[in-house]
Structures are given as C-alpha cells and as structure tokens.
Amino acid sequence: MSTFQTGTPCMQKLDPQKRVNYTFGMVLGVDEFKQEQIYLMAKDHSQYRLAHGYGTVCGLQLQISTAPDLEVQVSKGVAIDPRGQEIHVQQLMCARLNDWLITNQTTLEGIFGNAPLSLSLCVVLCYRECPTDTVPVPGEPCRTQQDAMAASNIADSFQLKLCLNEDQMTSSPTLSPPVDAAVLNGLCFRPSQIEEDAIRRFGRLLHRIRIGDSPSSVTETQLEDLVRQLDTDSGTITSPITSPITSPSFDDSLIYLSTQDAPGFLRAAFLVWVTEVRPKLTAQSGNCGCGCPDEKCVLLAELTFQVSKVWQVVGTVSVDESRRPYLLETRLLQEWLLNQVGGGGGGGAVASSNVVAAGVFNLPSTTIAVAMGPTLNGLTATPGTSPLQFYLDWSGPSAYVDPQSSSPSTFTYVVKGMVMGKDPASMQVVGFFPSGILVSLAGNPNGFMVEISEITGG
C-alpha cells in the first residue's frame, strides 16, 4: 500500500530585510509576492515599535457592567502590540466573569484550591490573522476538494482574553496545591512588559533630576551607571559607591545637574539607554533582536474580586489600569512642550502647577483604603502609623518624591481632599515623608477623594 501526499511548491524563507528586485522578464510566483508583503509589513511594524513603542492608542475603555449580567466591557479602539502590529477593535466587546469562572472552575481549583478565595485576572488584547474569502484554486491532480480551495484574503483581527494576573507559573502559589503542568493547558498569563516597566523606571529617574545653577551632584559616568541599572527587575536604582549624595534613600533623592553640564550629561544617559539598555531588554523578552519580542499582547487592566463557594463573583470588581501601556500622539506632545515654554521678569523662573495624582477610596475599616475604580498615576493609600491615617503615593512620569529630601526644595505638593460619609468628618495633611504624603481623617468617614498637584519652579 502506498500513501500519496499533495505536492506543494518549495517556499523560500521570508526575509523582512529583502525586497523584490523587479526586472523585465522575471517570472513572479507566490514566493515573490509574499516576500514583497513581508518586507512592507515589517517596515510598518518596526516604525511603530522601535520609534514609538506600544500600547493603547485610542479608545479601548474598560468598564464593569452589572446589568443584566456581570461582565467586563471594552469599547472599540486601536492599540499597537509589542511586535508593532495595529490592533483594531471595531465594536463593543463583552466578557461575562461568572461564565468564565464556571468554564475554568476545574482548572482554577487545580491551581488555587477550593473557593471561596480572592482571584486576580487581567484583560489582554492580542493581534491575530483570519484567513477569509475561500475560492477554488487550480493545482496538481489527485487533490481533495478541501485542498483545491484556499483563502483569497487574510483579515486583520484580534482576540480579547481573560488571563491569570500571574507570571508564567512553574510552581504552585503559596498555600495552594501542587500545580500539574497539564492543568495549565488553555490558561494564559499576564504580559511580562519587561521594556514597559524599565521605561517607567527611567521616567522615575528623570523625574528626580533638577537643573539649575548649583553644581552637579553626580558625574556623567555616575548618571550613565544609573541608566544601566534600569534593565534590572528590582526597580531599585542604587547610589554609585562614589556618589556625593548621602541621603539614606537614594532611590527618591534628587539629582542636581548644573545648566552647563545638563545637555552633555543627558545626551550621554540617553545614548546608554539606546545602545546598551534597550537591546538587553528586548533580548530578555524575545530572541531576534530589537523590536521583535516573543510577547504579543497588550495589557488593558487588572481585575481583583472575591469568588464564592459556587465559583461566582461576590461583591465589587476592583479595576486597576495603572500598568496599562499607552501612546500619546505627537501632536499632543508638541502642544504639551509648547505650553511648558515660559519666562518671567528679572530672569526668575515662573512657577507651574499640574495634577499628578487623584483617586477615590472606600474605607472598609479604619486601617484599609480601597480604590474605587481607576486612579491617576496609580495613586495608593497605605496605612499610616495610626487608624484613619494613610500615606498617599503614586507612580507614573511624575512619581512622588519627598520634597524635604533636598534643601532648598524646588518643588512641593498641594493636596485637595474631601471626606465622604453621613456623619461629620474632616481631613488634614500631616506632612511629607519618604513613604508618601501622610493624611489624617477624623470623625466617622466612609471614604475620601483626593487630588494632588505638584508645584515646580519659582
């Protein structure tokens, strides 16, 4: 007995760095047309990814709807994935959390054990291609009817997924049963965001820099070394051994650059980022050099909620979008830059103010504050030294830095707050500390809302 197989033409390996050299008399086939496509698509992808980054570009707002069913809703919008591919969501998308829990109950029990328990998921958006518009194609004899049909087009599409808000699991979570590798089949995990996290650490480092008439507090080499530390996963940037800065917490201390040194120092720091740090980051997230990571999906939000014994959501769903990457269009950045330009009489600097953090918090107890929905720049309220006292801290490009860590201080914060509840209550600012801005509540509050502005210059 013989086994027959359909003959297929040999395909050359596609190379995104090659384009077809059209010559009169050349015979063009499938290889040439696919090579032309891959070359042009790779140029678009590398322009997005290498020159601009990745993340949400427009829309894709996430909300929790409770009627008629508890579901996660994502509005239509556009994103760029870590490989530089455009993802277009053209209609409102919904995912019912209780249905997802029931469908994955057996798998989740194999990982976390029996409910009730607290579960954290993340919503991710991924690019995918869908062959479409099937048509008959001529070919070799002895082919089946299925082999004689082929998709005439490939449509850009997407996939929205609920994933475990965990790193790729190789062992069981604390106090959970052992994880069988087979149990994990079909589950996805949160994107690693290696480069995104490093960019945020770089932003925090840049926020600590103050340019003025005072002598530079670091050398050019020391600033370069601080940038080299950004490719670590710890998020902690330590002081160089020879640094003249003696603050106990160098991670939050200010870095002074003289107006004469600043241009050269910053150029050197950015050069280290481009030539040394960024290639290392892409090597950690992929295996084919700059702009080609293994990571494919974009994080939209992290969800946390309680699960009952019957694997249904109990209470409210907490939504955290502080780790969502996003891209601002160049026109907006241009307008922001132009609005930073200003001057004052007598050669003095003009003070400026902008909102750097905001949020609304519930108070389940006198020592716990839980964010109600998203917060600006990931504002958190952690317990202070006494009941109804909380440290306000935030991340983002204008992360909190203790204004008392330098003298004289070139910036400070203004806190605007309002206490929620039926009974009379009040809020006051206790002071600035390395852990954050300490606020104290009085009375019997149910929660509070706060907006923090940073004042610089002057």
Give, for all 458 residues of the chain, the pLDDT tens digit. 444 444 444 556 888 778 888 889 888 888 888 888 877 787 877 778 888 889 999 999 999 999 888 999 999 999 999 888 999 999 999 999 999 999 999 889 888 889 899 999 999 999 998 888 888 877 666 666 667 788 888 888 999 999 999 886 544 444 444 545 444 566 888 998 888 999 999 999 998 888 887 788 999 999 999 999 998 754 444 444 333 333 333 456 789 898 899 999 999 999 999 999 988 887 765 545 565 666 789 999 999 999 999 999 999 999 999 999 999 988 888 888 887 655 444 444 556 678 889 999 999 999 999 999 889 888 999 999 899 999 999 987 778 988 887 656 678 899 999 998 888 888 999 999 989 999 999 988 999 999 999 887 65
Residues 189, 80 share a domain? yes
Residues 86, 62 share a domain? yes
Residues 106, 232 share a domain? no
C-alpha atoms less than 13 angstroms from C-alpha of 349 in its C-beta half-sphere: 13
Residues 355, 325 share a domain? no
Residues 116, 40 share a domain? no
Structure tokens of 455? Answer: 């004042």
* Residue 377 located in a structural domain: yes
Residue 97 CB neighbour total at 10 angstroms:
21
Q: Report pLDDT for 88.
A: 94
Q: Report pLDDT for 363.
A: 92
* Residue 335 located in a structural domain: no
CA-to-CA distance for 361 and 450, rounded, in angstroms?
9
Q: What share of the chain is helix, strand, coil (3-state, %, to 5)?
A: 25, 35, 40
**What SS3 state is found at 153?**
strand
* Residue 230 located in a structural domain: yes
CA-to-CA distance for 363 and 385, rounded, in angstroms?
16
**What SS3 state is found at 431?**
strand
Q: Report pLDDT for 398.
A: 79
Q: Could you tell me if 439 and 427 are in contact, meaning their C-beta atoms sit under 8 angstroms apart?
A: yes
Q: Report pLDDT for 95.
A: 93
* Residue 200 located in a structural domain: no
Structure tokens of 221? Answer: 């080499």
* Residue 62 located in a structural domain: yes
Residues 373, 397 share a domain? yes
Q: Report pLDDT for 289.
A: 57
- φ and ψ of 229, to 5 deg: -75, -5
Q: Report pLDDT for 185.
A: 62
Residues 189, 58 share a domain? yes
Name the strand (E) or helix (H) holding 125. strand 117-136
* Residue 301 located in a structural domain: yes
* Residue 5 located in a structural domain: no
Structure tokens of 452? Answer: 């923090």
Residues 73, 27 share a domain? no
Residues 85, 161 share a domain? yes
Strands, sheet with 93-96, edge to edge from the N-terminal-most edge strand: 62-65, 71-74, 93-96
* Residue 82 located in a structural domain: yes
CA distances from 369 to 241, 295, 396, 449 (A): 39, 34, 20, 11
Q: How many domains does the chain have?
A: 4
Residue 260 CB neighbour total at 10 angstroms:
11
What 269-273 contacts at long range (C-beta under 8 Å, 24+ apart), as own/partner pairs, is 269/223, 269/224, 269/226, 269/227, 272/224, 272/227, 272/228, 273/202, 273/227, 273/230
Residues 66, 26 share a domain? no
Domain that holds residue 323: 53-136+150-168+185-193+295-330
**Which parts of 155-245 fold into alpha helices (H)?**
194-207, 220-228
Q: Report pLDDT for 140.
A: 65
CA-to-CA distance for 288 and 285, rounded, in angstroms?
10
Residues 62, 162 share a domain? yes
Residues 45, 62 share a domain? no
Name the strand (E) or helix (H) holding 98. helix 97-103
